[in-house]
Amino acid sequence: MQTVRAVYERYGYEPLETPAFESWELLSAKGGGGDAIRDEIYCFKDKSGRELGLRFDLTVPLARFIASNPQLPKPFKRYQIGKVWRYDNPQAGRFREFWQADIDTIGSASVEADAECLAAAASVLKALGFKSFTVRVNNRKILSAIVKSAGLESVSVAVFRALDKLGKIGEAQTAKELRSIDPKAPKILDIIKAGFSKLNKSMDGVSELGALVAACKVYGLDIVPDLSLVRGLDYYTGSIFEIEAGGGVGSIAGGGRYDRLIGSFGGQDLPAVGISIGIDRVAELLKETTATEKKVYIAIVKDELRGDAIRLANALRAEGIQALVDVSAKDLRKQLEYVNSNAIPFVLFVGPAEVKAGSFTLRDMKTGKETKLTPKKIAEFLA
């Protein structure tokens, strides 16, 4: 979170906190998340009988804040890192309580604001150590134009929801679901498969998407136009985007343009765009690459050497090494069981001979290889 915060601030986004709960009326409003999210909102009544709900994202509370504070200078750039809640089915990468890290730009209709959001999110992922990720983009105007050309405007919401499942359930099942909405609907899949380059350049939203691709190149960011990208929330009006990095957790960031959301909450219509990074999903992907990179367990062979083990651990911690020491008076066998059950990659043995020699045995738990090293060399080896 410190890394995310630092990168966002370098791009000029300023912190703004919003309440964990809002009025149910606001959260469930048609102009907000819409039907796609209404059943997932945690709602309750307070002691005065007012209907409230836990926020399901950080965008709707921001829109309410902007609508209530029209005097703010524009463009207004803000970031927020906070918890959100959705009554969803918990599974890999999906939780009922989770952290989001948002940035938003209010008051700019320029594609440059969209590109900057994507560039800032990409900079965060690079700062966290991600070597590769894919940025997929689309435009809701294009989707609406495709649906209109197929004569499906009256069922557009249902069509969008079906298309949003394409990546999860596959083409055959999506086609079946589209057919249940309208017999003509499956032909939309042919347009989507043909790709962005085959679209009529005069179609609504096509030039905007092309401009976004060009704007992102200035940042050295390659983005992939993907006509199957929908984004589930109803408030998106233009560019939409998602970032994926594999690992089976789905997208790790997503967002888009929502130019009519603020106006729907009683304020004036203001152009707005934002992106949210899913902190929990990012953390899940980082576990394998960073959480155990430098972790070592100091195994105490005899309890009277505990002081020596703690001093050695402190010396390693001072060098930035994650060092663990037994605090439960376990014997050596149980200490090694703990190491294995927690997948700690290295064990450093502290026994009488090691303390006397000032050189300790470091075991690589993956290969079983053991090396005798001084504390200074241990720190260099694990750094």
Domains and CATH numbers, the chain: 2-289 (3.30.930.10), 292-382 (3.40.50.800)
Assigned token pair, 112: 């440059």
Main-chain dihedrals φ then ψ at residue 167, nearest 5 degrees: -70, -20
CB contact set of 200 (below 8 Å; sequence gap of 6+): 206
Identify the bridge partners of residue 350 per DSSP, sorted by sequence position.
300
Assigned token pair, 117: 């959001």
Segment 332-371, tens digit of pLDDT: 999 999 999 988 999 999 999 999 999 999 999 989 999 9
Report CA 31 to chain centroid distance, whole Å. Answer: 24
- Calculated CA dihedral for residues 102, 106, 109, 110, nearest 10 degrees: -60
Q: Are strands 323-325 and 360-364 parallel, antiparallel or unpaired?
A: unpaired
Name the nearest CA neighbour of 235 among 37, 3, 23, 90.
37
Distance, in Å, from the CA atom of 328 to the CA atom of 316, rounded to the nearest integer, reads 21
pLDDT of res. 183? 95
CA distance readout (Å), 317 to 74, 313, 356, 364:
46, 6, 22, 19
Report CA 179 to chain centroid distance, whole Å. Answer: 33
For 351-380, b/e burial (b = at least 16 CB within 10 A) is beebbeeebbbbbebeeeeeeebebeebbe
CA distance readout (Å), 31 to 23, 36, 225, 282:
14, 12, 26, 29
Name the nearest CA neighbour of 212 among 81, 115, 318, 291.
115
Q: pTM (2 decimals)?
A: 0.79
CA distance readout (Å), 198 to 224, 239, 369:
15, 19, 57
pLDDT of res. 368? 93
φ/ψ region of 377 (left if φ > 0, alpha if ψ in -120 to 50, else beta) reads alpha
pLDDT tens for the chain, 383 residues long, are: 999 999 999 999 999 999 999 999 999 887 676 666 788 999 999 999 999 999 999 999 999 999 999 999 999 999 999 999 999 887 766 789 999 999 999 999 999 999 999 999 999 999 999 989 999 999 999 999 999 999 999 999 899 989 988 988 999 999 999 999 999 999 999 999 999 999 999 999 999 999 999 999 999 999 999 999 999 888 999 999 999 998 888 899 999 999 999 999 987 899 999 999 999 999 989 875 554 455 899 999 999 999 999 999 998 888 888 899 988 888 999 999 999 998 899 999 999 999 999 999 999 998 999 999 988 898 888 87
pLDDT of res. 292? 44
- Calculated CA dihedral for residues 70, 75, 79, 82, nearest 10 degrees: 30
Segment 314-328, tens digit of pLDDT: 988 888 888 999 888
pLDDT of res. 36? 64
CB contact set of 127 (below 8 Å; sequence gap of 6+): 3, 6, 7
